[in-house]
Amino acid sequence: MGLLEQYMEHKKTFSRSGGASRPHSSSSSRPRTGGSSSSRPRTGLSSSAPRTFSARPPLGRSFNASRGGSASSRPRREFGNSGGKRGPRKGQHIDISKFINKTVITEEAVVFTPEHLFKDFIIDERLKTNILTKGYNEPTPIQDRVIPHILHGHDLVGIANTGTGKTAAFLIPLINKVLKNPKEKVIVMAPTRELAQQIEMELKGFVKGFKIFSVCCVGGAAIGRQISDLRYQHNFIIGTPGRIKDLIERKCINLALFKSVVLDEADRMLDMGFINDMRYMLALMPKERHTLFFSATLSPEIAVLIKDFLKEPVMVSVKTQDTSKNVEQDVVRIKAGEDKLEVLHDLLINPEFKKVLIFGRTKHGVEKLSVALGKKGFKAQSIHGDKNQGQRQRALDTFKKGLAQILVATDVAARGLDIAGVSHVINFDIPETYDDYVHRIGRTGRAGEKGKALTFI
């Protein structure tokens, strides 16, 4: 099957799965919340008894009942101009019913049985040991299906929801490649600093005890340090497109030496306007190379990039459903004259709001909200583009460790972050696109836990 046909196949499958997996409350269960009840908190959260039904995911099998499942399975652009360019997009277009899903599915576990175990892969024994030490007992679906192909050296496009283990899916075979040939160089591009750092952390876990080194090249961090680190032997560069490009122009990185490249969250990089940087860098790499794309969605723009830069790629898609089934979603209606901040306060004082990620639309708004919550006595941190690298990292760590109850974030800053145990996601500002919404609420209900998402309207 040609690439384009494969893509069309994917599209078909996607729209099928997209249709089947819209939030489960349709207009019949429209906003019962808010206006109706006078006592705060105003969400009908506890009243909704989980209904059980067994839904077999349209593609592949679900992994341990409910891993991942956070990214949109529909081609983007459903909400107008949500593709490549960053135009003025307003969340107001999104049908409110999409923010409500009270029928949280207690899924009858279709337990995923991987075809392989880590020990079955033809990889270095020391690497297998490190994988097990890290606590990974068996591969996730995407890992199960892509690792053999990458080990064979095929170009590959991996499509899977956020939180399904894509990082290890490419790191494991690429580390193995470096173990076989210590001169091998790999470059990994990711859309945000935090993601690049997460990838490097995962890499460090896998290469413990090996002489494999990496440099993390991200904006916001001092470039001098990165320049001097690049002078030392390294096998992996992990970074964001802007900074990598900068370092190429300063002649600190020579892409001609890199025979393997990973574009992680390719869809997001396109959204963030990195298309030209991505093309520029891929063009500087050797023609004979190993190219891997990972993405949560397969848009027409990605299909074009794939056609231009990958050679007969293997396409693997293990997408299951749309919004996380285990995230209970509801809206909080703000009445005229009511103070949003007060409503938020009344929610946050409830003990069940243990680890809350709050989304705001602008950097300024996010900072303001986090300061205001601090004044109200909450332990709140914030991450957004106006903070420098160190500040963002500290805020994130404090929240991850549970030392702050609240993290207020912009969409871009929070994209793809893997934070364990987020109890609630609150959309203080309506997301601009449904795709953003899906990514936001995907920060809770991870790894089989239940999560709750509230959207202020």
Give the footprint of Mg ion on this chain (CB under 5 A).
Answer: 166
Among positions 136, 210, 213, 280, the unique one binding ligand ADP when judged by CB under 6 A:
136
Q: Which residue is nearest to Mg ion (CB)?
A: 166
Beta strands in 135-181 (DSSP E): 156-159
| Contact call for residue 140 and ligand ADP (CB under 6 A) | yes
Peptide bond before residue 41 is cis, with ω within 30 degrees of 0:
yes
Instruction: Please report whether residue 167 would count as binding ligand ADP according to CB under 6 A.
Output: yes
Task: Kindly state whether residue 165 participates in binding ligand ADP, applying the rule CB under 6 A.
Answer: yes
Please identify which residue in 23, 69, 139, 313 interacts with ligand ADP, judged by CB under 6 A: 139
d(CA 373, CA 383): 14
Looking up tokens 């059980």, which residue turns up?
52
Q: Which residues of 51-90 are buried (b: 16+ CB within 10 A; e: fewer)?
A: eeeebebbbbebbbbbbbbbbbbbbbbebeebbbeeeebe
Does 73 help bind ligand ADP (rule: CB under 6 A)?
no
Task: Determine the 3-state secondary structure of 254 from DSSP.
Answer: coil
3-state secondary structure of 439: helix
Q: Least CB distance from residue 10 to ligand ADP, whole Å?
A: 17
Q: How far is the CB of 321 from ligand ADP (least distance, A)?
A: 15
- The side-by-side arrangement of strands in the sheet containing 424-427 is 327-332, 451-456, 424-427, 356-359, 406-409, 380-383
Give 246 or 267: the residue with its C-beta nearer to ligand ADP: 267
The residue (of 188 and 331) whose beta carbon lies closer to Mg ion is 188
Report residue 104 CA to chain centroid gap: 22
Q: Tell me the three state secondary structure of residue 11.
A: helix
For ligand ADP, the closer of residues 139 and 451 by Cβ is: 139
Contact 319, 293 (CB under 8 A): no
Give the nearest distance from C-beta 81 to ligand ADP in angstroms.
26
**Radius of gyration in angstroms for the set of CA atoms belonging to the chain, rounded to a whole number:** 22
Q: For Mg ion, which is the closer residue by CB, 71 or 343?
A: 71
Where does this chain touch ligand ADP (CB under 6 A) — which range of 37-45, 161-169, 247-255, 320-328? 161-169
Residue number with CB closer to Mg ion (160 or 247): 160
**Residue 164 contacts ligand ADP per CB under 6 A:** yes
CB-nearer residue toward ligand ADP: 168 or 244: 168
Contacts of 351 (CB under 8 A, 6+ apart): none
Residue 289's Cα: distance from chain center in Å?
26
Footprint of ligand ADP on 338-357 (CB under 6 A): none
Instruction: State the residues that interact with ligand ADP by CB under 6 A.
Output: 136, 139-140, 143, 160, 162-168, 416, 418
